[in-house]
Structure 1
């Protein structure tokens, strides 16, 4: 059947093909085509239909049929015929006098031609052929079952899988994969394990066509699901790829670097698998000579991207010795400087953006080591790194982050939707979360951009980035946080917490009205917690960091607190939140922040003997209840160490509130609060000094 049109041999996806078409046929050929189509429409049996189809494919190869002709063929025979031919051939039954081998070739050619019409791809009959096509690609034989699911002993047929037939099968699968829900259709029909086995068995065309198809499938939205369902087959495939990578020449390895990341699992999926850890170690062993050698710019990007992907999986554990780790970080930092320190207005190509984003990930992975204090070293990410090497890494990082600051200073609001701008912003925020003493002047000058960027996204002013993030997300796990309008602000919060504790940057933040933005964020987060009533809550580190930043402002800027309306709104929010948080054990740290922050604001109110409203009374009742609950030794939780300093501040602030608002003493006396707490804790309490200060404040009000 070699003379039958074989669309898979000349096309890889829907809509591709030769420029030749029925429109380029001579009048006599066009007339013959019409006669064949007429015969096809009036065929009385499969023999007549097959004869007409053979004539059509000989007259005009299937890949060159235009959409109108394809539609007419579909209307005449539908997808039922090729699907039926394929199933018949797989069962080893001849039809219309044709042997099974020729039937399967004709069926695959028809399906390949029809698959070029995107409207036919979701058709159930075409999708039903996918398992049969996969079986042909994997091994050319099929175990079938009768419709009643009874298995026959002779229901196995082996076919000669020549390249034209295989190309037609791949054409159909590629076309389905490119359709809207194609990856899900292929996954549910066993495409991933079948294609993996085809590659491992070194079947014909598997390297040329099966691997690229798998790459497209695994870079779609079914990536995580594929790894959860077929981790064994995918690990075997990755081991096979790793072996090829190790045996290849350096030049061939450079070409392979751009493809390997497609076949790595999402971080966290296989991290506990010792076989996978071994595979990653082998990949690093083959990758190290490329990082250490001289690489052309056109290949360096792929090497750094693969390095970043491997770092995402196991950190520095399998990378290599400290000297190599320093070299990798240095190469990433140099690339960032070269890419970003261009004259204003220079456009960064998409390929360079991809490379720089990978460099950002390498830089972030190095931060834990580089930002540790020399005086108090902690567990490092790169084991065995000397002090000199650590300082070298820190120096390289400083230069790279200086380049990021230089780049971000040039960004205008019209570019806030650019994903690369967000990647640069996020990387810089990760640095600032660890280190704010370096480049301090430059960071302060950049604060208007950082606050403006976070505020713009938080207020929903830029929709494009959110849409892009949603489109690019390939994770199906329920616990993953999807992109939200507060994402940029969440990344910035740790830096704001550090900067708000220092005079100069705090003054700049006040000029930018940062407290109001933080109160809005806290209010939004509280609305989310309240909406989750009845569900199991999780700890909210971003809200805790937001409270900590507001606490810095409250302690250091009392006049601003007294005059800024946002702190009035904050006080109302805290009075509403604390009574609810009392009963959420997993949110105890957030409750401690709310309690401390509310008391710090209350102590700044002028002295007054006037009676208070019910809302204030409920707030202070909740405060006393919370402090008694966590100070009770029988109820101290694992979060006690995290909240101890907050409780000390709360007790100090409560003393100030008692002095300014005498009615609180009455409330405490009615609850016998102080005696009850002191009896529980004894004299050696970690907060005994604060309790003594509170006792003296109460004595003054007698």
Structure 2
């Protein structure tokens, strides 16, 4: 049966009448026939298309543009008739997407944006027909593009903000278009967006009907798809605070599941924008509410994920994503001072809730891994891929702060995570899909921590993560270097220029995300360089990585505003160069420039000129703001440079010729006692000792010229006056050995100076084994040096304990080596562990506190 035979007879008669019309009057007459002959249920899309073609767009267009109407008729009568007709055909995609319909968009927008004028008071049906047409057009991507090109965003926003006729339909259209077009829709239209959101938030906060939850959903859509607004500006507005308090009232009330879900989605987005710290400023008991919120989110995650397949979890994706946001925000908040202000019970409650949620995420990832046979070939645009990436993001956030719990579960899903990361990176390189999730970026902080532990590190190496990270580093560097080439050179006095918080927010937002990604990749590679020396020396990836550092450091040297990135590239290169010195024995021009830049980074970190009296060694102004991120890099860099000097004579010659050792000696001789912290002083001492050992003939003269002999004599006298094994300590060590305990000593530092110290205090009489890192290829906190000590003492690590005063070397190393317990003697009562890996099992005030623990009586140590 042909299409023509399927068309109802009444439709065919009307089509014939319309086609035979000789004038517009004839067409009007035929249209009246249409309304009488044809019933709505007789018209399918094919019939409607026949009728539309028979009417003809030219006729409709004449009606829309006509300004002359019959006497005593309303001025918009022809427009009203035309749009009534057009609205009847809006269910036919072929018609709606046609160029003819898209061409009337300006007329439609003009009518809705003037719907409150006096002329429109008697033509409200005309406005309704316009919205019907616009909604149909907006359903299609081509239609949305045409609407946006004609300024529909601003016109519809004005309709809603000014509460014009049918402004609720304008709002629904804006919600739909925003949800479809995404975050870039409002770029360049920040001010109208702020007006829209403010008005909508006020409507939401003031409504007391069921409509409140519809407005809640709409506000969440706008906040999820809006432009990035400076937080400083938003903090000046009232609506964020009032919205938070409204949501608190909702979530603390008896509400249905759908209502709770809407509130959770909105508060998650609001806190993403404003921050958890901001949320603690409002309400009668903000801490209690925040705990309620995070517990609610964690319970929701567990209920939606536990004993569920991926397909089942996807059914609750919208609310899960909102809960994920709350969980991620609170995990990050746990590392801040604000979390320490919670009492111990509240902190424990939050930790347990988060751990439970993360455990359920691990379970669903493991189940998904098994279901898909340890591969991931699902299209990147599939919701399953998006959900898996979101789950990996939460897991990465958790592991960035907490790696000590659920280790077996983490190791079980680690291969799958790396597989997904690799797949998504391959797709990202193609650049065919915008706004693609980047799970590898989310996992970088976690990889930094996991690389420091034996079991996950072996998995990472087995999965060829170094090659993936190297490729990712090149990808991110290409993005960063292109951006950097377009930036103006920062003036030398940039740190002295006063900037407002708003300007700082804008500047920070404009920095590329690739910068932080590069820094994190460097962090992972640094851990691998320290803990896998054989791999670094033999794997081609690390040789390529060293070449990357040598080649790309120079563009950063003269950039005043990328000091953290400079430090990471410089120090990573030193750690790698230690294992590849044979390639650079002659020092080519690229390697020379690299060392020049590295020395510049280390040299410029401290000076006495910027101190108040020039008698103290202080952190340079350029470094001060970022010193929390630079301090460990600087110490590692000093040690790394010392390690390569002994193998590359040209580096020593360059350092001496640069004048750095001379300046170092002058600064140290000029400052007053106590005007340099102990760790910095030790770093300089060790560096000068290594420099002297590398080329004694050349360096000795430099040191002696700068009062080196005098300084050494004073230093030696003072050092060994106060560094002694006093009576009680010596007695404790002797008593331990009498009780059949074996005792080992592990110390980091240059071999010669450490053995001199050991001999001076007579330590060999009290220890069964002594290890100095300068004699070995490893040092604290690397597990290898602890395992070697256990081997020499003929004892298993899990039957040993570590006692030390440094969290970052003694305690961390003991835990990484799997020792039974760690005892920390803090030198500074205010010092605290910065991560769970550095958390000791026991904290004691002095060595004497060990006596009762090991069964030593007070009489034995007096």
Report the TM range for the smaller structure's normalisation: 0.7 to 0.9
- Give the Cα separation in 1 of the matches to 2:71 and 2:36: 19
In terms of mean alpha carbon deviation, does 647-656 or 402-411 score higher?
Answer: 647-656
Equivalent residue for 1:451?
Answer: 418
- Give the Cα separation in 2 of the matches to 1:267 and 1:696: 56
Query: Gaps spanning 5+ residues in structure 1: where?
Result: 1-20, 143-155, 373-377, 471-481
CA deviation digits over 1:121-172, x for unaligned, max 9?
4666644544543454466466xxxxxxxxxxxxx73442355x44422221
Instruction: Tell me the CA shift for residue 51 of structure 1.
Output: 2.8
Q: Give the secondary-structure state (helix, strand or coil) at the position aligned to 2:553.
A: helix
* Match 2:269 to one of 294, 301, 309: 309
> Residues 561 and 567 of structure 1 are in contact (CA less than 8 Å); yes or no, is this contact kept in structure 2?
yes
Equivalent residue for 1:439?
Answer: 406
Q: Give the secondary-structure state (helix, strand or coil) at the position aligned to 2:141.
A: coil
- Give the Cα separation in 2 of the matches to 1:549 and 1:34: 73
- Give the Cα separation in 1 of the matches to 2:104 and 2:236: 34
Q: Give the secondary-structure state (helix, strand or coil) at the position aligned to 2:119.
A: strand
Instruction: Tell me the CA shift for residue 285 of structure 1.
Output: 3.7
> Residues 603 and 656 of structure 1 are in contact (CA less than 8 Å); yes or no, is this contact kept in structure 2?
yes
Instruction: Tell me the CA shift for residue 398 of structure 1.
Output: 0.7
Instruction: Tell me the CA shift for residue 260 of structure 1.
Output: 3.9
Equivalent residue for 2:622?
Answer: 637
Change in Cα spacing, 1:60 to 1:458, as seen in structure 2 (3 Å) is same
How many positions carry a matched residue from both structures? 633
Change in Cα spacing, 1:334 to 1:272, as seen in structure 2 (3 Å) is same
Over the aligned positions, Cα root-mean-square deviation in angstroms equals 3.8
Equivalent residue for 1:646?
Answer: 633
> Residues 101 and 159 of structure 1 are in contact (CA less than 8 Å); yes or no, is this contact kept in structure 2?
no
- Give the Cα separation in 2 of the matches to 1:605 and 1:457: 33
Please tell me whether residue 50 in structure 1 is matched to residue 28 in structure 2: yes
* Match 2:220 to one of 256, 261, 283: 261
Q: Give the secondary-structure state (helix, strand or coil) at the position aligned to 1:347.
A: helix
Q: Give the secondary-structure state (helix, strand or coil) at the position aligned to 2:307.
A: coil
Q: Give the secondary-structure state (helix, strand or coil) at the position aligned to 2:416.
A: helix
Instruction: Tell me the CA shift for residue 80 of structure 1.
Output: 4.2
Equivalent residue for 1:518?
Answer: 469
Residues 55-70 of structure 1 aligned to structure 2 (within 5 Å): 55-60=33-38
Equivalent residue for 1:423?
Answer: 390
Instruction: Tell me the CA shift for residue 400 of structure 1.
Output: 0.6
Instruction: Tell me the CA shift for residue 236 of structure 1.
Output: 5.5
Equivalent residue for 1:147?
Answer: none
Equivalent residue for 1:404?
Answer: 361
Equivalent residue for 1:601?
Answer: 576
In terms of mean alpha carbon deviation, does 490-499 or 321-330 score higher?
Answer: 321-330
Please tell me whether residue 380 in structure 1 is matched to residue 345 in structure 2: no
Change in Cα spacing, 1:649 to 1:31, as seen in structure 2 (3 Å) is closer
- Give the Cα separation in 2 of the matches to 1:529 and 1:461: 16
Equivalent residue for 2:321?
Answer: 357
Equivalent residue for 1:690?
Answer: 683
> Residues 302 and 357 of structure 2 are in contact (CA less than 8 Å); yes or no, is this contact kept in structure 1?
yes
Residues 231-242 of structure 1 aligned to structure 2 (within 5 Å): 231=193, 233-235=195-197, 237-239=199-201, 241-242=203-204
CA deviation digits over 1:551-571, x for unaligned, max 9?
122223322322322221211
Instruction: Tell me the CA shift for residue 61 of structure 1.
Output: 6.5
Equivalent residue for 2:64?
Answer: 86
Change in Cα spacing, 1:82 to 1:595, as seen in structure 2 (3 Å) is same
> Residues 138 and 198 of structure 1 are in contact (CA less than 8 Å); yes or no, is this contact kept in structure 2?
yes
> Residues 526 and 577 of structure 1 are in contact (CA less than 8 Å); yes or no, is this contact kept in structure 2?
no
Equivalent residue for 2:436?
Answer: 483
Change in Cα spacing, 1:626 to 1:292, as seen in structure 2 (3 Å) is closer
- Give the Cα separation in 1 of the matches to 2:262 and 2:341: 28
Please tell me whether residue 37 in structure 1 is matched to residue 18 in structure 2: yes
CA deviation digits over 1:42-81, x for unaligned, max 9?
32xx333333334334433789755556556665664444
Q: Say which one has the larger Rg.
A: 2
Please tell me whether residue 495 in structure 1 is matched to residue 446 in structure 2: yes
Residues 118-517 of structure 1 aligned to structure 2 (within 5 Å): 118-121=93-96, 126-127=101-102, 129-134=104-109, 136-137=111-112, 140=115, 157-163=119-125, 165-192=126-153, 194-196=155-157, 206-207=167-168, 209-221=169-181, 223-225=185-187, 228=190, 230-231=192-193, 233-235=195-197, 237-239=199-201, 241-243=203-205, 245=207, 247-248=208-209, 253-254=212-213, 257-264=216-223, 266=226, 268-269=228-229, 271-272=231-232, 277-316=237-276, 317-318=278-279, 320=283, 321-342=286-307, 345=309, 347-348=311-312, 350-369=314-333, 371-372=334-335, 378-380=336-338, 385-412=342-369, 413-414=375-376, 417=380, 418-460=385-427, 470=434, 482-483=435-436, 487-517=438-468
In terms of mean alpha carbon deviation, does 435-444 or 173-182 score higher?
Answer: 435-444
Instruction: Tell me the CA shift for residue 601 of structure 1.
Output: 2.5
- Give the Cα separation in 1 of the matches to 2:664 and 2:58: 81
CA deviation digits over 1:102-128, x for unaligned, max 9?
423211112224544445546666445
What TM-score, normalized by structure 1, do the two folds share? 0.78
> Residues 473 and 521 of structure 2 are in contact (CA less than 8 Å); yes or no, is this contact kept in structure 1?
yes
> Residues 116 and 164 of structure 2 are in contact (CA less than 8 Å); yes or no, is this contact kept in structure 1?
no
CA deviation digits over 1:204-246, x for unaligned, max 9?
6554x4443232123232642485252365145404531553x
Equivalent residue for 2:746?
Answer: none
- Give the Cα separation in 1 of the matches to 2:114 and 2:41: 25
Change in Cα spacing, 1:34 to 1:610, as seen in structure 2 (3 Å) is closer
CA deviation digits over 1:552-603, x for unaligned, max 9?
2222332232232222121111111122322333332222222222222233
CA deviation digits over 1:185-219, x for unaligned, max 9?
33454544554565567666554x44432321232
Instruction: Tell me the CA shift for residue 424 of structure 1.
Output: 0.7
Equivalent residue for 2:779?
Answer: none
CA deviation digits over 1:533-556, x for unaligned, max 9?
631284712211211221122223
Equivalent residue for 2:655?
Answer: 668
> Residues 108 and 130 of structure 2 are in contact (CA less than 8 Å); yes or no, is this contact kept in structure 1?
yes
Please tell me whether residue 584 in structure 1 is matched to residue 548 in structure 2: no
- Give the Cα separation in 2 of the matches to 1:601 and 1:275: 46
Equivalent residue for 1:560?
Answer: 535
> Residues 242 and 279 of structure 1 are in contact (CA less than 8 Å); yes or no, is this contact kept in structure 2?
no
Instruction: Tell me the CA shift for residue 33 of structure 1.
Output: 1.4
- Give the Cα separation in 1 of the matches to 2:219 and 2:600: 57
> Residues 578 and 644 of structure 2 are in contact (CA less than 8 Å); yes or no, is this contact kept in structure 1?
yes
CA deviation digits over 1:391-435, x for unaligned, max 9?
211111111111111111122323664111111111111111222
Change in Cα spacing, 1:270 to 1:563, as seen in structure 2 (3 Å) is closer
Q: Give the secondary-structure state (helix, strand or coil) at the position aligned to 2:403.
A: coil
Instruction: Tell me the CA shift for residue 327 of structure 1.
Output: 1.5
Equivalent residue for 1:12?
Answer: none
Equivalent residue for 2:479?
Answer: 528
> Residues 195 and 214 of structure 1 are in contact (CA less than 8 Å); yes or no, is this contact kept in structure 2?
yes
Equivalent residue for 2:644?
Answer: 657
